[in-house]
Chain A
Amino acid sequence: MSSGSRRLTPQAVEVIDRANSVGFTFDGRSYSGHPGDSIVSALLASGVTVFSRSYKYHRPRGVLTAGFHDPGCMMQVGDEPNVRGSHRLVEDGMVVSSQNRWPSLRFDVAAANHAVGRFLTAGFYYKTFIKPQPLWPAYEKILSRFAPGGRMSADSVHGRYDHRFAHPDVVVAGGGPAGMLAALAAAEAGATVMLVEEEHALGGHLRYEPSQHKDLATIVGRVAGHPNIEVLTDSVVTGRYDDNWVAICQRNHPGVFERLIKARAKVLVVAAGLVERPYVFAGNDKPGVMLSTAVRRLINLWAVKPGERAVVLTANTTGDAAVEDLERAGVAIAAVVDGRRGHTVVRARGPKTGVKSVELADGSTVEADLVVTAVGWTAPTSLLNMAGDRPRYDPAAARFFACDLPANVLATGGITGDGTLDQLAEHAQAVGREAARRSLTTRRQWQAARPWAASPQPETDDVSPQAIPDLPRHPHPEMFRSTSHGIVDFSEDVSSKDLVAAVAEGFNSIELAKRYTTATMGPTQGKLETVNAVAVVAEAIDRTIEDVGTTVWRPPYAPITLGALGGRSHEPTRYSPMQSWHQANGAKPLVAGQWIRPDHYGDPEAEVRNVRENVGIIDVTPLGKLDLRGPDVSRLLEQVYVNRWAKLGVGGVRYGVMCAEDGVVLDDGVTGRLADDRYLMTTTSSGAGTVWEWVENWLQTEHPDWRVVVTPMTTSYASMNVAGPKVRTLLERIVEDIDLSPDAFGYMNVRQGRIAGVDCFMWRIGFTGELSYEIHVPAGYGLDVWEAILEAGADLGIGAFGVEAQRIMRLEKGHFIVGQDTDGLMQGFSAGIDWLIKLDKDDFAGKPELTWQSQRTGDVRVVALQPVDGTVVPLEASQIVDGSGAIMGRVTSSRMSPTLGRSICLGVVAENLATAGSVVTIRLPDGDLVKARVMEHHAHFDPEGTRLRG
């Protein structure tokens, strides 16, 4: 594969830094290149011509395009798979390896596929490996060996990924001459411009045009110097979405592996240029068959001699220019085949790894190791498609053109037409000025649409629409396939023969043939192969390309990593003000939505016993808290809760359940009346956001006449629940301004006063079933008050308890948890809150559904269950089954009760099993069946509630 140096003497516009060298390895061998070299140009300069094996037949592949989308040059770099070797710049110390070879690039077992290639035609995998079905795992194991792509190790560490939001007036996709001139014209007309170029430098095809070098340098200098233009190189516009939401993948932002820029462009200018189209003929995928643009890039940018003796098939001026470049580089021109005169090449012959001779249409054979083709262009209309356009084929120019663009998308450059450089410049500048005019109009409209804007900007719409001149279309012969068959899709190894076979099997439209053969579905995503695929299918079904049309280009235009799509995590983590104490005291953290809470401090069962015998304290800061003020709060409460609120007096607290309009349990919590027109509502920790929106929805859309102000207070207060038989003794030591005696401060009341010198609200409620007080203090005092309570209760045996102990105690008391013991289908009566639902209220959310539920039978019910064998703790979500094994319900909560010394559960069962005393069968995950008794009360412990009322 290696045949000495191919580096040329210095070229006029080369981009390599010959004063310096970089060393790297490829498949274990050492090579050197210069800064500015791509991996492939450095290897090619060292004489390497084969860079990978193809996807299906594992044929050796070399350079085709010498650009980002070069299909045969995907490589593994260190831990990073699928690196574009013709684009990625080589770096000192890089460890590069080829992909798709096993065991080695030189000797590849799967290349035997090629010997059996006639069996591997379109649909081969679908037909062969589908039957017998039981053998699929065995097939899969072997086939995955041959799967394309690189590898990454499970513990590979990649750099950071990031997102950026941008609000430019104009995004220009493509930094060639047209893109640059459009950007300059737009910027000079007052628009802010983001100019995005896929390559490492601006210039497009002018970069390898030595005669244009001075002009290019001038334009690049003007772009760089313009304050309104932000240039992004090595970046690509991957998609255009609704309202010009433009996704840009930036690969060269310092410190970031890849960055996704989400730009809201007022106008998008597509100046994507043209992609040179390969020619379909036998042997067209051999290393040594290249596009004319590849040859021009290799010689002019990297000073690499692409071969020794060339046959050039040219149908346009780029091909002609390639001939000149080759001659200057000292490559012998064996033949120039002029496609404009109807001449063509038929076959490239030689060993698998290269070309030895070329058969021409006249039957002659020419010795050559390089075949250069210049047969036409594909317009990369991807972004225009995404804007709704369906490009139309022009046979005279042999390419597709856009026809119908929305007002916020413009196109210029080669994608629009041909012409002299002056004509293109005139077009690009007119497009740039028009882009600025439209974007500034949009900017003013958006600014005026902000109601808080001081005053709408003065209308300066005196700029009249810019006339955009038509670009001529140069005639070009239609050249897609020679008289022989060859590769159409180089990424997917789909040949023209495969497409013809697919049509013969009935897949006779481009969309069907595409899916059946996977043509255009590989990493190049149609940029090289779409038009050839369309042409082959059109020929096979005897229609025109215009009739067949093209497949739809969808985002992303170029590959983007999942890391860039994900960006960095913006998910906040919430801690209570007491977190430092929890950490210092051995709390095991529990992830509860956004919150990190103490699950326990070592022994949750001991924490339960301490609350039942002495006194305990738990941090309940995540409880949702809404401050409700105004004369109509009680009407709001009547509307959102199923129970009654009108008679709740100042100082009173009530438990409430909310149902959605479908009658399904939404949330629960207690709400207290602090003053005539002031209430504090608490919600479940996870439901805080939902309930806030729910309450606002009622106030804003159904009852805008009600006077209620809602303020979320969840994180403004630190909240703690102090519970246990000794709690009153404890609190009497540090609470001021509140009479804690049972007569003055009874169960289900709220008081305001001071604790440890800090203003507080205090509720007497009892989730744990013990005498307990829930204390809310301003968040900044949370830790102080927490420590003061612990200090004051030290001699009473106070201890902190965590979420697990609280869950055990609430289960002992039979309190359901919304979302755990209820689900997204469970309506109110199924939750066993019949006593709470007041169907005689005029209205409340979900009332009609609950009314109808009350009138029917057959729904499920939440019940308390006790396994007959109290040592068995069924796993939560175990099924409840009947004699035939049919599912009759499930266990929703299950724990060993330290208080009762037996297992206790809540479960959901069919109504006919919900009677107290009936015995149900629980199927454990291992298949064992155990019996459990349905209890009379949800509460397993102290069903009368004497302890909490004490």
Chain B
Amino acid sequence: MLLVPCPWCGPRNASDLRYVGETSRRPDPASVTPAEWRAYLYDHANPAGPTTETWYCRGCRRFFVAERDTVTNVFTSSRPPGRQNPEEPR
């Protein structure tokens, strides 16, 4: 079982958390096209390699963003979600 680095609780068993999905940016509902919205909902890159994903920790009830390599299952970082950088996916 993966050991997932929660930024608040430290390393935790994956069963203590919920995998939310690849971190993606919610399109602007005012201007989005159906194709863009459905890509947001359903299309995932699912890369063999580094990916950015959102987790929810049931211990501290917080969401966070983590970088993981799906080939080695090594987490390289985790941080709180949010708009620190407008270019950064949330």
Q: Hey, which bits of chain A sit against chain B, CB under 8 A? A: 241-243, 245, 262, 264, 446-447, 449-453, 661-662, 693, 696-697, 700-702, 704, 842-843, 847-849, 852
Contact = CB atoms under 8 A, between A and B. Distances in A.
Contact of B54 (A245, A701, A842): A701
A700 B63 contact: yes
Nearest to B61: A696
Contacts of B40: 661
A704 B1 contact: no
Nearest to A842: B30
B23 to A, nearest CB: 9
B63 A702 contact: no
Contacts of B7: 451
B2 interface: yes
Contact of A702 (B2, B30, B80, B90): B90
Contacts of A264: 3, 13
A449 B77 CA distance: 11
Bin the interface of chain B by size: 20 to 34
A848 B37 contact: yes
Q: In this complex, which of A452, A696, A704, A852 has the most chain B Cβ atoms within 10 angstroms of its Cβ? A: A704
A704 B29 CA distance: 19
B1 A451 contact: no
A35 to B, nearest CB: 39
A388 to B, nearest CB: 9
Given A661-B41, A848-B32, A701 B82 contact: yes
Contact of A843 (B10, B29, B81, B90): B29
A242 B41 contact: no
Interface string B60-87: 0111000000000100000011110000
Contacts of A662: 41
13 contacts: A242-B3, A245-B1, A262-B1, A450-B9, A451-B7, A693-B18, A696-B61, A697-B56, A697-B63, A702-B26, A847-B29, A848-B29, A848-B34
Contacts of A449: 5, 10-11
Nearest to B90: A701
Nearest to B31: A848
Interface of B: 1-3, 5, 7-11, 13, 18, 20, 26, 29-30, 32, 34, 37, 40-41, 54, 56, 61-63, 73, 80-83, 90
Contacts of B90: 701-702
A849 B37 contact: yes
A844 B65 CA distance: 23
Which of A446, A447, A701 counts the most B-chain CB atoms under 10 A from its CB? Answer: A701
A704 B73 contact: no
Contacts of A243: 1-3, 73
A410 B11 CA distance: 23
Contacts of A447: 10
Contact of A700 (B11, B37, B41, B81): B81
A445 B83 CA distance: 28
A594 to B, nearest CB: 15
Contacts of B29: 843, 847-848
A672 B34 CA distance: 34
Contacts of B20: 697
B81 A701 contact: yes
A849 B81 CA distance: 25
B34 A852 contact: yes
B33 to A, nearest CB: 9
A451 B26 CA distance: 30
Contacts of A847: 29
A693 B56 contact: yes
Given A242-B73, A696-B63, A843 B30 contact: yes
Contacts of B63: 696-697, 700-701
Given A700-B62, A848-B37, 14 more contacts: A242-B2, A243-B2, A245-B13, A447-B10, A450-B9, A451-B8, A693-B56, A696-B56, A697-B20, A697-B63, A700-B63, A700-B82, A842-B30, A843-B30
Contact of B81 (A446, A661, A704): A704
B29 to A, nearest CB: 5
A446 B1 contact: no
Contacts of B56: 693, 696-697
Contacts of B62: 696, 700
A700 B61 CA distance: 10
Contacts of B13: 245, 264
Contacts of A704: 80-83
A847 B41 CA distance: 13
A446 B34 contact: no
A772 B10 CA distance: 48
Nearest to A689: B58
B38 to A, nearest CB: 9
Contacts of A852: 34
Nearest to A449: B10
B36 to A, nearest CB: 9
A704 B79 CA distance: 14
B81 to A, nearest CB: 4
Indicate the member of B1, B29, B54, B73 with the most A CB atoms within 10 Å. B29
The interface centre, meaning the residue of A661, A700, A849 with most chain B CB atoms within 10 A of its CB, is A700
Nearest to B32: A848
A515 B18 CA distance: 36
B60 to A, nearest CB: 10
Contacts of B11: 446, 449-450
A449 to B, nearest CB: 5
Contacts of A451: 7-8, 10
A884 B37 CA distance: 37
Contacts of B83: 704
A557 B1 CA distance: 17
A446 B10 contact: yes
A704 B84 CA distance: 10
Contacts of B8: 451-452
A452 B6 CA distance: 12
A916 to B, nearest CB: 31
Nearest to A447: B10
A688 to B, nearest CB: 14
Contacts of B3: 242-243, 245, 264
Nearest to A847: B29
Nearest to B40: A661
Contacts of A242: 1-3, 73
Contacts of B54: 701
A447 B13 CA distance: 15
A848 B63 CA distance: 24
Nearest to A702: B26
A697 B55 CA distance: 10
A850 to B, nearest CB: 10
Nearest to B2: A242
B84 to A, nearest CB: 10
Nearest to A843: B29
Contacts of B9: 450
A450 B82 contact: no
